[in-house]
Structure 1
Amino acid sequence: MKIRFSQKKTAPDPELETLKAELDTAQADLQTAYRQFDLAVEPELVESCVYQISAVQARCNYLIRAIKARQPAVAAALPPKEDVTWT
């Protein structure tokens, strides 16, 4: 007698995949913003870069929270972390 165990394959969540792709893009934008900050010389450009970095960090934090909300089992297994802050 053969016993078969069926494994339920869940279809990937398209919204989750979109959020992950957006997070990848936001992280690349953050790297770009830091590179621009490193090259900025004029005070106005430095200030602009600081605002841009802050905005992209806020977007990354939002996307991370949204991804964790879409994956409650994975989020529960992860240790709690504070929002991403780059200094």
Structure 2
Amino acid sequence: MPEAVKRFSLRRRAGERERTRSVLLEGLSQTRALIAQAYQGFNDACDPDLIESFVFEINALQSRYTYLLRQVKELDGEETARTG
């Protein structure tokens, strides 16, 4: 494969990784905001059923946050392995 094609291919993949990382970071930010809202709702709730729903919502959002964070770390680890 010609060298110019290899460089173009590597740059394209790097751009795709950056876009993916950007989407993941935006997801982390949005999920953090949703977690804060869910905690506020939990703190304001008086009805046991509503409190329970906020507990489930918070747990689900924390799972999503953990997943997104793991994806960012894996993506960063792949980049480090390529350049390291």
Q: TM-score range by the shorter chain?
A: 0.7 to 0.9
- 1:64: how far off? 0.3
Q: What's the TM-score, normalizing by structure 2? A: 0.72
Q: Which residue of 2 aligns with 1:52?
A: 57
Where 1:69 maps in the other structure, the secondary structure is helix
Deviations 1:17-60 (A, max 9, x none): 00000000000000000000000100000000000000000000
By relative contact order (CA 8 Å, sep 6+), the higher-ranking structure is: 2
Q: What's the TM-score, normalizing by structure 1? A: 0.70
Deviations 1:45-86 (A, max 9, x none): 00000000000000000000000011013xxxxxxxxxxxxx
Amino acid aligned to 1:18: V
Q: Which residue of 1 aligns with 2:21?
A: 16
Q: Which residue of 2 aligns with 1:77?
A: none
Q: Identify unmatched segments of 5+ residues in structure 2.
A: 1-10
CA RMSD of aligned residues (A): 1.5
